[in-house]
């Protein structure tokens, strides 16, 4: 983040996703086949009990909070020692809808059994800030504890804001990322009836036959740290947050602005924040939801900023599905793993790239690359745009 005085290192990463629990399984999953045969992908046989002191405590946490705590445990274990002054450690977290599983279940309980049977834990389990609050309380983090809820851009926004708190000198360490578990019956019906979900049950970003997204879930947590502090304590630095940006389309509640004008401006703001030119970017981790309008608008934006076929592009949603408010965190994790393994994961599920989009989409198999600055984009209902630029440790 040029001009703000303090560099921001990534020293910890934790992931919980349908394609793999833990960062290593997650990476292997990103190299695997695409999603087929359903309009959602969820974590099968999820067992939250290893992340709680007892089964009762686990039952009093919604699935979205369970995912967040599991990912945070892995990230903080990798990062290592936290600063002694926990007031300098923040928790900036993201979700799109929060504890909707609990809310939907308890509404059904009220209808069938009456108001007196509604759980007294409904409110703390359903509230959107519960995942971030749970992380803060478990580890005694008394710095800023805020939840960002900007639909599908929330994960990217949380990472960008967390990095700024360090760059500005307000925090020395921030635990950030996002979590989502929104594949409930009612939510799926709503997305389906608005024709956002794939009718074929296949996620195929930027494919000529793309027809909607597959709902995903999961969480990713990054530990961000002031660079010199990380170096002094001998931490392993996974990458660097070079820049970030946020803006609004101010166009439509669900549709992107024509031509991707908001996305264009957002990426350029992030480049300016990082002190980089478009030619410095070596990878784009696209929002790439597999919906006709969004993929077309994003491709327009990438061509405008980077030129036709100007930079390798991937979308990991062909494997992960679309995890809404956690998408940006999962995709930042994918970029960091891409840097570590020196490969760009393929856009799974995509077999017939829409030539009209004019992008260099990585498909079929992972592509070897020399890691360099990478931009991860996310765009959410409400016209929210977010971009974050992540570089290799150097």
CB-CB contact of 263 with 247 (8 Å): no
Q: In which element (H, E) is residue 221 found?
A: strand 218-226
Give percent of the chain with pLDDT exceeding 90.
97
Q: What is the CATH number of domain 8-391?
A: 3.40.47.10
Domains of the chain: which residue ranges? 8-391
Quick check: 20 pLDDT over 60? yes
Distances in Å between the Cα of 195 and the Cα atoms of 98, 188, 189, 208 are: 22, 11, 10, 17
pLDDT tens for 52-101 read: 999 999 999 999 999 999 999 999 999 999 999 999 999 999 999 999 99
For range 39-57, the mean pLDDT: 95
CB 80 within 8 A of CB 139: no
Burial 338-347 (b: 16+ CB within 10 A, else e): bbbbebbbbb
Dist CA 78 CA 342 (whole Å): 20
pLDDT at position 394, please? 83
- pLDDT band at 4, cuts 50/70/90? low
**Token pair belonging to 198:** 């794939």
Residues tagged active-site: 152, 287, 322
């Amino acid at each position: 983040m040029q001009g703000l005085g303090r560099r921001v290192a990534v020293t910890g990463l934790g992931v919980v996703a349908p394609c793999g629990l833990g960062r290593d399984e997650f990476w292997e999953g990103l190299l695997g086949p695409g999603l087929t045969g359903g309009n959602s992908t969820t974590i099968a046989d999820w067992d939250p009990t290893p992340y709680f002191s007892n089964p009762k405590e686990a039952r009093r946490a919604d699935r979205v909070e369970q995912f967040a705590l599991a990912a945070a445990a892995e990230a903080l274990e990798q990062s290592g020692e936290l600063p002694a002054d926990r007031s300098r450690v923040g928790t900036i977290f993201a979700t799109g809808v929060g504890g909707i599983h609990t809310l939907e279940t308890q509404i059904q309980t009220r209808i069938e059994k009456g108001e007196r049977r509604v759980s007294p834990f409904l409110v703390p389990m359903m509230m959107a800030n519960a995942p971030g609050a749970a992380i803060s309380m478990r580890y005694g983090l008394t710095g800023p504890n805020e939840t960002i809820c900007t639909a599908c851009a929330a994960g990217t926004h949380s990472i960008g804001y967390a990095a700024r708190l360090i760059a500005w000198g307000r925090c020395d360490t921030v635990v950030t990322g996002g979590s989502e578990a929104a594949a409930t019956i009612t939510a799926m019906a709503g997305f389906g009836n608005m024709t956002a979900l794939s009718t074929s049950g296949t996620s195929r970003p930027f494919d000529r036959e793309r027809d909607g997204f597959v709902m995903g879930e999961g969480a990713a947590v990054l530990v961000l740290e002031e660079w010199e502090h990380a170096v002094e304590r001998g931490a392993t630095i996974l990458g660097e947050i070079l820049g970030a940006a946020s803006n609004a389309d101010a166009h439509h509640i669900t549709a992107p602005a024509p031509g991707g004008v908001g996305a264009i401006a957002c990426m350029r703001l992030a480049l300016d924040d990082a002190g980089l030119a478009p030619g410095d970017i070596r990878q784009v981790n696209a929002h790439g939801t597999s919906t006709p309008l969004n993929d077309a608008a994003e491709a327009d934006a990438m061509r405008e900023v980077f030129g036709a076929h100007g930079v390798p592009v991937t979308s990991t949603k062909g494997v992960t599905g679309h995890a809404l408010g956690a998408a940006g965190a999962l995709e930042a994790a994918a970029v960091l793993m891409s840097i570590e393994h020196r490969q760009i994961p393929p856009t799974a599920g995509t077999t017939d790239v829409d030539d009209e989009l004019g992008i260099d989409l990585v498909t079929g198999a992972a592509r070897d690359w020399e890691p360099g600055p990478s931009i991860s984009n996310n765009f959410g209902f409400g016209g929210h745009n977010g971009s974050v630029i992540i570089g290799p440790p150097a």
